[in-house]
Amino acid sequence: MPTSTNCVSFASLGLKEPILRGVRAAGYETPTEIQANAIPKIIAGAELIGLGQTGSGKTAAFGLPMLNLLCGGPPGLRGVIIVPTRELCVQVAENLRVYAQHAGLHVCTAFGGVDMSIQESAFKRGLDIVVACPGRLIDHLERRNISFEHVKMVVLDEADRMLDMGFMPQIRRIFVRLPQERQNLLFSATMPKEVEGLVNDFLPNAERVQIGSRSQSAETISHRFVAVNAHDKQDALERLLQRESGRVLIFVNKKIGCERLGNVLKRSGMPADSIHGDKGAEARYGCLQAFTRGKTRFLVATDVAARGIDVDDIELVVNYDFPLALEDYIHRSGRTGRAGKSGRALSLVAPMEKRLYLVVQAHLQGKDVSSMPSAGRGYGMPKRREGGRPSGGGGGGGGGRSRARHAAASY
Ligand code: AMP
């Protein structure tokens, strides 16, 4: 895989034998670039800020050294990983359980939308690491279901997404309750100002590991843009899907449109479903399971719901609605072409979306788009949250140079 480093082995990074056995169980042969760079530094005790594109192997980059630190120590909550969404929570915990299977360490999850008592019972059966969403973590702390007293390492994953989703005040509340003596790690695809503020407060002496530019698409993804009138999009999508034999993730900007499009595709007999923030935790989990197992092949999603979807072999990402910001385009297309595999991104661009399309196109061609007026977040348009409400989040990022394969737009 192109992102891995051929000359470095996992054994040479300083990981203990039970953790190396976990890495072998995951089927990883060589570390990715971010893993090779970050793991030895974290093992040596450094605080670290890891910046890297989606799908670059960040989970193992922080997960393996955390397990390494806790392996062989006394039981009890010693590792905390904070993530923005339930889906990411489940996926990070699943990955860690694979890596931890020979180390005798217990990984639990804490996210909203499910009964707290189920999570509390799991904590009582054994808890060394908790992977949690901020709100539910605070709830458990306040009810004294968990204690931070013995925490040795804290990871903030997808810090820029936490900011987008308005989690920064909760993150600060969590951080002040942690013990002074601890190792902090922060991972993010981009580094907006507010995240930089958190870094200055809580990781002032952190080392930085940056893989690629701050806002970059994977090189393995090809990008295509098709000009289509807004009212012809549905037909265009149906025709397109009829030609696809693999998994396709389709993005829309609003929850209501997401549900509607999913139903339209289902009614035309396609193996389709939709995932968005108005669906409960169980329904969203079921949706992802069906997609992972191939029961549904076409999944319509909003940005927030799709964050953290790490389903192997998504062949095509379709932007049914054009994203409202360059970074969203990068996150969406990053759902395909993961772990070095090739992938395709196709956008249906209506005339009113052309301005944003030009920003994305310029970025993919390696042009500096930070000075482009009136297009996308940070370029004059407010970032919208799922459901269409403007968010308070700042711009940040953008302007990165991508060497992504880029098919000429047919706009
Ligand atoms: P992540 O960026 O952590 O979400 O990882 C993206 C995908 O790459 C996941 O499916 C991981 O299981 C996979 N992956 C992570 N590290 C490696 C590695 N060293 N070798 C092969 N696959 C990996």
Report pLDDT digits (tens) over 33-63. 899 999 999 999 999 999 876 678 999 999 9
Per-residue confidence (pLDDT) for residue 52, from 0 to 100: 78
**What is the rounded distance in angstroms from the CA atom of residue 319 to the CA atom of residue 241?**
13
Candidate of 58, 59, 220 to mutate for ligand 1, largest count of ligand atoms within 8 Å of Cβ: 59
CB-count exposure of residue 281 (10 Å: 0-12, 13-18, 19+):
middle
Per-residue confidence (pLDDT) for residue 218, from 0 to 100: 60
CA distances (Å), 238 to each of 234, 262, 267, 299, 385, in order? 6, 11, 11, 13, 27
Nearest Cα residue to atom 1 of ligand 1: 57
Nearest Cα residue to atom 11 of ligand 1: 57
Which of 158-172, 277-291, 375-389 has the least mean pLDDT? 375-389
Query: Which of the residue ranges 214-223, 261-270, 286-295 has the most confident prediction, judged by mean pLDDT?
Result: 261-270
Pocket around ligand 1 at a 6 A CB cut-off: 4, 28, 31-32, 35, 55-60, 310, 338-339
- What DSSP designation does 409 have? P
Average pLDDT over residues 335-363: 85
Average pLDDT over residues 263-279: 91
pLDDT tens by residue, 105-116? 999 999 998 999
Token pair in block for residue 388: 């269409």
Per-residue confidence (pLDDT) for residue 292, from 0 to 100: 84
The label of the residue with tokens 């994977």 reads: 218
Q: Does residue 101 surpass a pLDDT of 60? A: yes
> Which residue would you say has higher pLDDT here, 276 or 156?
156
Per-residue confidence (pLDDT) for residue 341, from 0 to 100: 67
* pLDDT band at residue 211 under the 50/70/90 scheme: confident
Where do the domains of the chain lie? 11-210, 221-410
Q: Does residue 411 surpass a pLDDT of 70? A: no
Beta strand 314-319 with 272-275 is unpaired
CATH top-level class for 11-210? alpha beta
188 alpha carbon – ligand 1 mean position (Å): 16
Proportion of the chain above pLDDT 90, given as a percent: 56
> Which residue would you say has higher pLDDT here, 222 or 59?
59
* pLDDT band at residue 5 under the 50/70/90 scheme: low
Token pair in block for residue 181: 């003596």
Average pLDDT over residues 57-80: 96
139 alpha carbon – ligand 1 mean position (Å): 31
CB-count exposure of residue 52 (10 Å: 0-12, 13-18, 19+):
buried
Nearest Cα residue to atom 21 of ligand 1: 28
Which atom of ligand 1 is found nearest the CA of 91? 4
Nearest Cα residue to atom 18 of ligand 1: 28
Per-residue confidence (pLDDT) for residue 367, from 0 to 100: 55
Polymer length of the chain = 411
- Torsion angle defined by CA atoms of residues 350, 353, 356 and 360, in that order, rounded to the nearest 10 degrees: -10
* pLDDT band at residue 339 under the 50/70/90 scheme: low
Sign of CA dihedral 298, 304, 309, 313: positive
Cβ contact 62:15 at 8 Å: no
- What DSSP designation does 238 have? H
Q: Does residue 7 surpass a pLDDT of 60? A: yes
Q: Does residue 287 surpass a pLDDT of 50? A: yes
- Torsion angle defined by CA atoms of residues 206, 210, 215 and 220, in that order, rounded to the nearest 10 degrees: -150
* Reported pTM: 0.64
34 alpha carbon – ligand 1 mean position (Å): 11
Mark out the alpha helices in 78-219 (DSSP H runs): 86-100, 116-125, 134-142, 159-164, 168-177, 193-202
Residue type (1 letter), 251? F
Candidate of 4, 28, 90, 96 to mutate for ligand 1, largest count of ligand atoms within 8 Å of Cβ: 28
Which atom of ligand 1 is found nearest the CA of 26? 12
Nearest Cα residue to atom 20 of ligand 1: 28
Q: Does residue 384 surpass a pLDDT of 60? A: no
406 alpha carbon – ligand 1 mean position (Å): 24
- Do 11-210 and 221-410 have matching folds? yes
CB-count exposure of residue 391 (10 Å: 0-12, 13-18, 19+):
middle
Helix (H), strand (E) at residue 156: strand 153-156
Per-residue confidence (pLDDT) for residue 310, from 0 to 100: 63
**What is the rounded distance in angstroms from the CA atom of residue 245 to the CA atom of residue 264?**
19
**What is the rounded distance in angstroms from the CA atom of residue 315 to the CA atom of residue 322?**
19
Closest among 136, 18, 27, 114 to 68, alpha carbons compared: 18
Beta strand 314-319 with 107-110 is unpaired
Sign of CA dihedral 163, 168, 170, 172: positive
Mark out the alpha helices in 127-268 (DSSP H runs): 134-142, 159-164, 168-177, 193-202, 233-242, 255-267
Domain 221-410 has CATH 3.40.50.300: yes
Candidate of 95, 131, 314 to mutate for ligand 1, largest count of ligand atoms within 8 Å of Cβ: 95
**What is the rounded distance in angstroms from the CA atom of residue 310 to the CA atom of residue 249?**
11
Query: Which of the residue ranges 162-176, 215-229, 355-369 has the most confident prediction, judged by mean pLDDT?
Result: 162-176
* pLDDT band at residue 9 under the 50/70/90 scheme: very high
133 alpha carbon – ligand 1 mean position (Å): 21
Cβ contact 316:246 at 8 Å: yes
Query: How would you label 223-262 residue by residue, b for 16+ Cβ within 10 Å and e otherwise?
Result: bebbebeeeebbeebeebbeeeeebbbbbbbebebbbebb
Question: What mean pLDDT, rounded, does the chain reach?
Answer: 83
Closest among 58, 66, 70, 62 to 32, alpha carbons compared: 58
Q: Does residue 410 surpass a pLDDT of 50? A: no
Nearest Cα residue to atom 14 of ligand 1: 57
